[in-house]
Chain A
Amino acid sequence: MQTNKSLNISNGLIQIKDLSKYYSNGRIRAVDELRLTIHQGETFGLLGPNGAGKTTTLRLLNGLIKPTNGTASINGFDILKDAQQVKSICGLLAESPGVHAKLSAFEFLELMGALYGLRKNELKTRINELLTFFDLSDRKNDLIEGFSTGMRQKVLLASAIIHNPEVIFLDEPTAGLDPRAARTVKELVKSMSERGKTILISSHRLPVVEELCDRIGIIHKGQLIAVGTITDIKEQTQTKTLEEAFIAITGGNPSSSSLPWRA
């Protein structure tokens, strides 16, 4: 990512210490002893194949689920001891969250903003600003059930940042968006980053990660197996593109001899 912003490297805003989440009596290790520091103002990308543990990591950091071992702190708040404070300073765009389809976009944002403790007048101003930004102001009284996937995603993104959080977790932020809407989201992420917000993005879309992230981490089978800038990762793996680096690290290149019946 080419920006002039300066990161506060001395301050690890998100500090993850041996964070683990196990299921089925430890047989399934969704997240396994994750150790990572994300600095204030940094945009960090979490990459990994399906089922690698990206979403579980975001859910753990936002206090939606509790770790089996280890912990993490966000701006000094421990995710176990200070879950409420953590949620107050974070915003989460989940991968496939449900929305209250029978509420209008305005009503839904009003609900989410109120839950973050925003006062009525301030909330109304912010909702109108967000709806205008996301090009939804003329649909603000329409029920969400009538929205396309992209429009829903915009509403959800608006709900994740409505309280102006210090830390933003974005799980596949451009999923289901058309190129124009995806561009809007990317511009939003960039501007939030420039304003000093700390952003953690989980995505499969390598171009998105390449464009937005200062550093990336590649997670595979619950373990963080590579961390660094995109240039670092490419150098470490001696590859030319992020895609090649990703496949080199996580494996899984399909054999050309498979599916012999195709011929």
Chain B
Amino acid sequence: MMSFQWWIIAKADYRLITSRFRQLRPFLPYLLGGGLVFWIFYLGPSLAESMLSEMDTYVYSLVAVVLVQFILFFFFLMFFIFPLMSILQDIQDHHFENLFSTPIRPGNLLFGEFLGKMPFYVTFALIIGSFFTIGMIPLGIDVFQVLIILAIFVLTFLTASWMGNVTAVLVRSFLMKNARGRDIGKGVAFLMVIPLVGIMYAAMGGYFDFLLDPEKGKWFEDILNLFPSSWGAEIIIEFARNPGDLSAISSNALFPALFLVVFTALVFLFGIVLANRLYSLELKSFSAAKAKPDRMFYRFLRQLLGNGPFATMVVASWKGYVRTIRNLTMLLYVIALVAAMNIFLMQPEDSEGAIVSTIMITPLLTAFIVGEIAIQGKENLLLYKQTPVTTTSFVKMKLTHYFLIIVPLAIILEVIISLLVPGIKLYEIFFNVGFQMAMAIGLTLFSTGLFLRNPAYHEKAPEYMINMQVIIFVIMIPFFFGLIMLDMYLYVTFGIIDSFYYIMVVVAFSTLSLGALLLYIGVRHLDRLE
């Protein structure tokens, strides 16, 4: 019985993941399996038939293998990073106290947890793999070739996600030893997505176009060959070049693929052994982070805000914010995103471009910062209600705190991006900065109102994600409405040709008004919240 501990854990983990649709649980494997078979062998290939001629040309090109390797590498990285992010975002040890009080071996726990999630990893791997096979089925590859290609995807991505899980567990067992570590975990998890975004932007910006030249891309191919994601790439292309002929595989393609199978087995074994050695509930230290006496900045802030109880409230809110590493890494993420966008994707060529390239950043910035308002739970949000402080004072305090972070950051980012524009004029910089300020204020009001109307009491609460999406997309309504509809109206009515700045003024006012309205709704809701 004890040798099947991993199976017991896998069953429990599968139940945990599928608990939202418990009624569907008995049919889920059939629904997923049936859906995949229908997509892979019927629907997908029929849709892909029209692409046949382009696919044919691509398959016989010299860069086919390296391009497949690159795509597989990107997804390999994704499958490695996502379990890491997911585990580190929510580091808790209480749950393990129960499990480790039983005679379970840590390796079995880890393997079982992975096995419980495996049906979903496999499904994702098959979906990604299917985009390759549906393009190749019209070329004539047979069922066995399809299955081998899909197996390569499954093996590659399972290896990546297992490595991600093992790494996460090792990092977690180190970080969960104190509260600071848990906070660091959340922060680090957030930064992990940056390399993926960087690669994506670079690919979109044409920075990997050199791969289309076999000579220039040789060094990159050599690097990619070091990763397991590349070891099955050649076999995929050889199948596409020799449809229906399993025997046509060269040893150059076969050996790396066989090595992938062996490597996967070894990685799984190694992970289990490692978990048995390092997975523990041992605390490293009892030492808690200590608060330092208020230095110049906090004394200045108190002075600035009048040195009264309001100033103390704002300073306390600020301290709580900056001492949470996740909050700081979110800011770093936004800055990295701006940098990646401007380096790889869209260098602003004129003053208008500088506004466009930051238009999506301010909502992200405000959403990330304001999202903390209820994140420590409802009781914490309503703490002020035990005191004579009114809801309005509480909201004013929070808004002051948010403005003090968001507005200067938005200004700095806008100034830097505007200065990247060759020959930009001073008044254009002033306009851009003024616009960003108005947007930052409007969006802060909007986000605060939204997070009060629809509070998110945990980072993983559905409300958190929904609010984020609403804030990020709400800006698109006045912006694109202005650019399309208003542009035409201004031209037809007033004969204005270059209406961008007029439109931006309207966008800023709309955002401010929308912000004020939502803040009113949010405050009213908070007032009634019990």
Contacts and interface: CB of A to CB of B under 8 A. Distances in A.
Interface of A: 23-24, 28, 30, 59, 62, 64-66, 84-85, 87-88, 90-92, 94, 96-100, 102-103, 107, 111-112, 114-117, 119, 143, 156, 159-160
Contacts of B2: 117
- Top-4 shortest CB links A-B: A98-B94, A98-B95, A102-B19, A92-B101
A65 B12 contact: no
B111 to A, nearest CB: 14
B19 A64 contact: no
B5 interface: yes
A100 B12 contact: yes
Given A94-B97, A117-B1, A117-B2, A112 B286 contact: no
A87 B12 contact: no
B98 A23 contact: no
A117 B103 contact: yes
Contact of A114 (B8, B98, B285): B8
B285 A24 contact: yes
B285 A23 contact: yes
A115 B94 contact: no
Given A59-B281, A96-B94, A24 B287 contact: yes
B12 A97 contact: no
B102 A97 contact: no
Contacts of B284: 23
A30 B8 contact: no
Nearest to B100: A64
Nearest to A159: B98
Contact of A103 (B8, B15, B285): B15
Contacts of A156: 98
Interface of A is mostly: mixed
B92 interface: yes
B282 interface: yes
B104 interface: yes
A23 B286 contact: yes
Interface string B269-305: 0000000000011111111000000000000000000
B343 interface: no
Interface in B1-17: 1-2, 5, 8-9, 11-12, 15-16
B203 interface: no
9 contacts: A23-B284, A28-B285, A59-B97, A64-B281, A65-B283, A94-B101, A111-B9, A111-B12, A115-B9
Interface of B: 1-2, 5, 8-9, 11-12, 15-16, 19, 92, 94-105, 280-287
A143 B22 CA distance: 11
Contact of A116 (B94, B103, B105): B103
A98 B98 contact: yes
Given A65-B282, A65-B283, A87 B101 contact: yes
A119 B285 CA distance: 40
B25 to A, nearest CB: 11
Contacts of B5: 115
B97 A112 contact: no
B456 to A, nearest CB: 17
Contacts of B16: 100, 102-103
A59 B99 CA distance: 13
A88 B103 contact: yes
A37 B9 CA distance: 35
B96 to A, nearest CB: 8
A103 B9 CA distance: 12
A99 B283 contact: no
A260 B285 CA distance: 37
Nearest to B178: A23
Given A62-B101, A94-B101, A98-B94, A23 B8 contact: no
Contact of B97 (A84, A88, A97): A97
B102 A87 contact: yes
Contacts of B97: 59, 64, 92, 94, 97-98
A111 B284 CA distance: 29
B461 to A, nearest CB: 13
B102 A116 contact: yes
A112 to B, nearest CB: 7
B138 to A, nearest CB: 43
Contacts of B101: 62, 64, 87, 90-92, 94, 160
A112 B98 contact: yes
B15 A94 contact: no
Nearest to B13: A100
Contacts of A30: 286
A28 B286 contact: yes
Given A23-B286, A100-B12, A160-B101, 4 more contacts: A103-B19, A111-B8, A115-B104, A143-B19
Contacts of B103: 84-85, 87-88, 115-117
Contacts of B94: 94, 96-98
B80 to A, nearest CB: 26
Nearest to A111: B12
Contacts of A160: 101
B423 to A, nearest CB: 59
Given A88-B103, A115-B104, A94 B98 contact: yes
A161 to B, nearest CB: 12
Contacts of A94: 94, 97-98, 101
A65 B284 CA distance: 11
A30 B107 CA distance: 28
Contacts of B104: 115
Nearest to B93: A98
Nearest to A119: B1
Given A23-B286, A102-B16, A112 B280 contact: no
Nearest to B177: A23
A102 B17 CA distance: 8
B285 A99 contact: no
Contacts of B283: 23, 65
A97 B281 CA distance: 13
B173 to A, nearest CB: 12
Nearest to B108: A115
Nearest to A163: B102
Contact of B95 (A66, A100, A112): A100
B15 A115 contact: no
A64 B282 CA distance: 8
B19 A97 contact: no
Contacts of B12: 100, 103, 107, 111
Contacts of B99: 115
B102 A112 contact: yes
Nearest to B5: A115
B280 to A, nearest CB: 7
Nearest to B280: A65
Contacts of A97: 94-95, 97-98
A99 B11 CA distance: 16
Contacts of B15: 102-103, 107
Contacts of A92: 97, 101
B475 to A, nearest CB: 35
Contacts of A88: 103
